[in-house]
Structure 1
């Protein structure tokens, strides 16, 4: 694990509120709060995970498994002081394991075409990437990542 005192475990509503309260620590200047849905944590608790440590939540991944057996990662973030420790990879691994227990055979994620950091991270994890025009509405292309399990 990235550090011995960090545990990856299912998120709860309190964790959701803590993440939103510390939003800039995970996302910097980008305001992605509207993408954070409490219903995801409540309804897909086994695949919404936090990396909990004595000093708070160091990172999190929110996702779910689709009926088509795809583990979809909706959000993944690592707190500013925990970046570069391998925690993002560990969170993805924990999500992949949880999704696999629910029957997932592959993983999927999306990001903006401008988010080069996310693209590089997903490629390092073995994802294939393709840009899909109008994925997020007319004139709004997104990069779509996919890969098989196991991670």
Structure 2
């Protein structure tokens, strides 16, 4: 557990998954990404599915897992609308990186749509290399694919909120 400024980052539980879905617009705005929220991730990869808890609820979360090849894959990371710009996204990534390293990860990976300029800028600010991969998500569906080696340094050049 990581405790910073009244926010605890802890493994997600099934109830957290349901709270995140109930508050979906606070994390994702008008984009409906509920279909990407897989309960199986929380149930099967609990050590790398994390939530940032505060007295007023879940401020942010990261759902991911470690592949057999040693890649910590971030499936979703989001901060609540009132937590953006606080550096919480960086802290969530750092907590995920630590959890992934404990499971043998040597690198991190994430993807986003090519039009998600906020996510692309956020990942680059964290030291990820980004490249556009044609047909990554099917025919004519390019994605921005991010990679970076571990260990992870979350030192911000400036705090940034995130919705990937």
Q: TM-score, normalised by structure 1?
A: 0.98
- Match in the other structure for 1:124: 125
Shift of 1:3: 5.2
- What is the aligned-residue RMSD (CA, Å)? 1.1
Aligned with 1:20: secondary structure? helix
Over residues 52-102 of structure 1, what are the superposed CA-to-partner deviations in whole Å (9 max), with x where a residue is unaligned?
000000000000000010000000000000000000000000000000000
Aligned with 2:16: secondary structure? helix
| Structure 1 gaps, min length 5 | none
Shift of 1:4: 1.5
Q: Assess if the C-alpha contact under 8 Å between 1:123 and 1:129 holds in 2.
A: yes
CA distance in 2, matches of 1:105, 1:2: 25
Aligned with 1:7: secondary structure? strand
Where in structure 1 do 4 or more consecutive aligned residues deviate above 2 Å? none
CA distance in 1, matches of 2:99, 2:142: 29
CA distance in 2, matches of 1:135, 1:4: 39
CA distance in 1, matches of 2:68, 2:3: 32
- Match in the other structure for 2:89: 88
CA distance in 1, matches of 2:4, 2:117: 26
- Match in the other structure for 2:62: 61
Aligned with 2:9: secondary structure? strand
Q: Assess if the C-alpha contact under 8 Å between 1:2 and 1:87 holds in 2.
A: no
